[in-house]
Structure 1
Amino acid sequence: AEWNLFSMNLDGSQQEKITNLTVRCEKVSVSHSGQTVLFVHYSNDNFYELYSINVDGTNLNLIDRANRYCGSADWAIDDSKIIYSKSRNESTDERDLILFDVSSKNKQTLTTTDNNILGRFSIDNKIAFWQQTNTSNDIFLMDIDGSNQHKILNDASYPVWSPGGKRIAYISKGDMESPQIFIACSDGSNSKQLTNTYLKSWDSGFPNFGNCNPQWTPDGKKIVYESNVTEGLPEIYIVNIDGTDQTRLTNTERRNEHPMISANGNSIIFVSNRDLSYSFDIFVMGIDGKNQNPLSKYSGSDSYPVVLAE
């Protein structure tokens, strides 16, 4: 299937295509200014191409390309640099993390061993990254120039920095067989498990993610996430960072997933296929789960919403 990149207002108005290039069905990365988007295009010659484009459709730029993979990008807090993951060479699926300077266009390879899936900037320009070997998934920390690389979390993946940069949310199976949501301090200490649910079954044709996609509220006090463990279909939950007040926000017999929180913390944007008149659509609801309404109502499917600016 071919996917396109669109923008719209938070009330669903002014839906506009940003680029004529098709995009891969994966989350795009928005600059902190809210003005520029990073996305992945799969080219006619079978290359993964990482592009940047302004949200008004101007200033399309090819950043890098690779035949195995190039993407999973993130912005530094001042938008001066981008980190992304790129296949090491044509004969391996293992990836390295590349630092791209937006002004000079210079590229620096930060990793050289194992499989480095993605890196994420903290507000003080430390980089937490997920490294995979044949036997483990771990989270490492390094400086922005690639120095001082050290493991901070074992059996961990998908690092997500808290707004203040003092904590990291991540995924780990811990002592259970299903993925769970954890948080820890930025050095890996004081790890705390927030979910404790077992995935009994899952929707055929979709990966068995268990609990996944943690998103911090802007005040850093709560985590919004999705869980597949109830009926094997993902639903969206919210929980305090001390593990209390775990609350289910969606409750349908269909999929509800990919939550993103508005900048003011009042709304959650997410994807659902609850309306059988359409495929997957983008919905909005209050942070408390009230007033769930569709925004897109496209005849095809919509997925992976991100919040540009408010």
Structure 2
Amino acid sequence: MIKKTIILLVLVSSFNALWAQTALKSEKCLTKNNVDDRYASYSPDGNWIVFESNREGYWHIFLMDSKGQNEQKLTTNSADNRRPSWHPNGKKILFESNRSGKFELYTLKVKNREVRKLQTPTENGELIFATYSPNGKNIAVSFRESEDRSNIILLKRTGKLVRWLTTEDRRSFYPKWSNDGKEIVYFSRKETENQDDEIYRLNIKTGVESRLTNWAKHNFCPSWSFNNSRIVYVTSMEDLRPEIYIMDADGSNKTRITNNEDGDTLPNWHPKENRILITAYRAGNFEICELELH
């Protein structure tokens, strides 16, 4: 019994060393609604936040300032408008909508609400989780062919296909660019028999790839810091809620950031890297919350 106890203590100690939780300076929710608010990101200057909300039945794109005030509804049609992301100039938003019957990519000018559909290759699937490259010339996006098969493709900003970045028979989702535009991170089940999500780092030019996580169950929703040195992401183990973690860009120094009664997901960095936006499950709904780091 004593031997088993010692082994257990060693394992717990090793676990805590690997997933060391750092104290947050503060955590606050910017939205408090009886609906779901999700998928938030800061504008390139850090002054605005774009997010999606289903407060009116359909999913729509909303804008608010960085303090959670001055909300504006950006889309008005009778369809779902989802997963917004910023153009690097801060004047335009890329999002997906099923207004044509399946999810395709659209752009929206923040100033005058002008919406334009991109001419994208969606004959045999749909496009989700799209993001602009830092220079605004390209788009990385997940092309979903079925529930169990999706890959990352590279488009021109007009929507024209450049090439496939992954060609797997499993799920690969959620590409996010490094700030120098040379690499993306994403998560995939390609090496786990379609069971567990793991995070990968891919060089766009060379195709060289490295796996950054190797932990039972799910590691997902990665996002680069603006100086490319760190990656924030989500880990969810079996029967445990998802929590926010940070690791170095090479996959080392994995550090736990949140420890809440309910799950936290979809993290995105502030340009100054002192704050992170998350989608947090609170009181029965998803809300947009902000983590301030020491």
Cα separation, partners in 2 of 1:270 and 1:81, compared to 1, 3 Å: closer
Q: Which residue of 2 aligns with 1:145?
A: 158
Question: 1-side partners of 2:47 and 2:155: how far apart?
Answer: 27
Question: 2-side partners of 1:63 and 1:86: how far apart?
Answer: 10
Cα separation, partners in 2 of 1:182 and 1:188, compared to 1, 3 Å: farther
Deviates more, 1:184-193 or 1:222-231: 222-231
Of structures 1 and 2, the one with the larger relative CO (CA 8 A, separation 6+) is 2
Return the offset for 1:162.
1.4
Select which of 183, 186, 202 maps to 1:170.
Answer: 186
Cα separation, partners in 2 of 1:267 and 1:253, compared to 1, 3 Å: closer
Q: CA contact under 8 A between 1:260 and 1:307: conserved in structure 2?
A: no
Q: Which residue of 1 aligns with 2:177?
A: 161
Query: Between the two proteins, what is the percent identity of the paired residues?
Result: 20
Question: 1-side partners of 2:288 and 2:182: how far apart?
Answer: 26
In the alignment, residue 208 of structure 2 is paired with which amino acid? Answer: N
Q: Which residue of 2 aligns with 1:83?
A: 94
Q: Within 5 Å, give how 1:109-124 maps onto structure 2.
A: 109-110=117-118, 111=120, 112-113=122-123, 114-124=125-135
In the alignment, residue 158 of structure 1 is paired with which amino acid? Answer: Y
Matched, 1:35 2:43: no
In the alignment, residue 182 of structure 1 is paired with which amino acid? Answer: Y
Return the offset for 1:96.
0.4
1:198 is paired with a residue of what secondary structure?
Answer: coil
Superimposed CA distance per residue, residues 247-304 of structure 1 (whole angstroms, 9 cap, x where no aligned partner): 34258695563344454435666678xxxxxx84xxxxxxxxxxxxxxxxxx776744
Q: Which residue of 2 aligns with 1:288?
A: none
1:42 is paired with a residue of what secondary structure?
Answer: strand
Aligned residues between the structures: 256
Q: Which residue of 2 aligns with 1:207?
A: none
Superimposed CA distance per residue, residues 218-270 of structure 1 (whole angstroms, 9 cap, x where no aligned partner): 3212223222236633344333333334x342586955633444544356666
Aligned-residue CA RMSD in angstroms? 3.5
Q: CA contact under 8 A between 2:104 and 2:126: conserved in structure 1?
A: yes
Cα separation, partners in 2 of 1:66 and 1:115, compared to 1, 3 Å: farther
Select which of 132, 137, 147 maps to 2:144.
Answer: 132
Question: 1-side partners of 2:273 and 2:77: how far apart?
Answer: 35
Superimposed CA distance per residue, residues 160-201 of structure 1 (whole angstroms, 9 cap, x where no aligned partner): 1112221111011121131100010134711111111222xx
Cα separation, partners in 2 of 1:237 and 1:86, compared to 1, 3 Å: same
Question: 1-side partners of 2:30 and 2:276: how far apart?
Answer: 21
Question: 1-side partners of 2:96 and 2:216: how far apart?
Answer: 31
Q: CA contact under 8 A between 1:48 and 1:65: conserved in structure 2?
A: no
Unaligned runs of 5+ in 1: 1-9, 200-209, 273-278, 281-298
Question: 1-side partners of 2:276 and 2:64: how far apart?
Answer: 25
Matched, 1:189 2:196: no
Unaligned runs of 5+ in 2: 1-24
Matched, 1:212 2:220: yes
Q: CA contact under 8 A between 2:156 and 2:162: conserved in structure 1?
A: yes
TM-score (norm 2): 0.71
Indicate the structure with greater helix content. 2
TM-score (norm 1): 0.68
